[in-house]
Amino acid sequence: MKELVLSPLGLTHTTLSVDKHKRKKRSQGHTTDLKATPFWDHQTTHGAGAVLSTAHDLLLYARALLHPEGTPLRQALKLSITPVFKTEPNDLAFTWFVRPSGNYWHDGMTGGFSSFIKIYPGKDRAVLYLSNTAHELEGFLDAVEK
């Protein structure tokens, strides 16, 4: 992952593992009722929530998605947002939910954390939401769509 994706995009603060020094600096995760919760240690499910990143790196990633032609991964980034399955209300791409408007988004949640990113190619804009509380983001997509 580091060699094929992270380094070419300049995502220097995105990783699958955290050393002891970084572990002390990360945010404390919370449940929906704001109780501290242990950090999930993904030993076997790296593709489902083990990627750790920063807002800075995620915004760099959003910029790469908005302007893939300026990256060494232009073909892969374009392919990642190409719908492969038609459904309602979103088409499904490899890692993205694609709206009829051409905007695309993805969200996620692990123990104590939730996230959301939406890309607006026609407006050259991205919305990023990161929280150290695990809660469903239902309704958030509709709120940012307006």
What domains sit in the chain, N to C, each tagged with a CATH number? 2-19+47-145 (3.40.710.10)
pLDDT value of residue 71:
96
21 has pLDDT over 60: no
Question: What distance in Å separates the CA atoms of residue 136 and residue 32, rounded to the nearest whole number?
Answer: 9
Strand arrangement of the beta sheet that strand 97-98 belongs to: 91-92, 97-98, 104-110, 113-120, 125-131
- Residues near 106 by beta carbon (within 8 Å), at least 6 away in sequence: 95, 96, 97, 116, 117
* Cα 127 versus chain centre, distance: 11
Mean pLDDT of the chain: 84
> pLDDT digit string (tens) for 46-99?
566 667 888 999 999 999 999 999 999 999 999 999 999 999 889 999 889 999
Question: 129-140 pLDDT, tens per residue?
Answer: 888 888 776 666
Distances (CA, A) of 123 to 4, 97, 101, 119, 120: 28, 18, 11, 9, 5
> What gap in Å lies between CA 130 and CA 4, rounded to an integer?
25
User: CA 70 to CA 66: how far, in whole Å?
Assistant: 9
Q: How confident is the model at residue 23 (pLDDT cuts 50, 70, 90)?
A: low
Output the pTM of the full model: 0.84
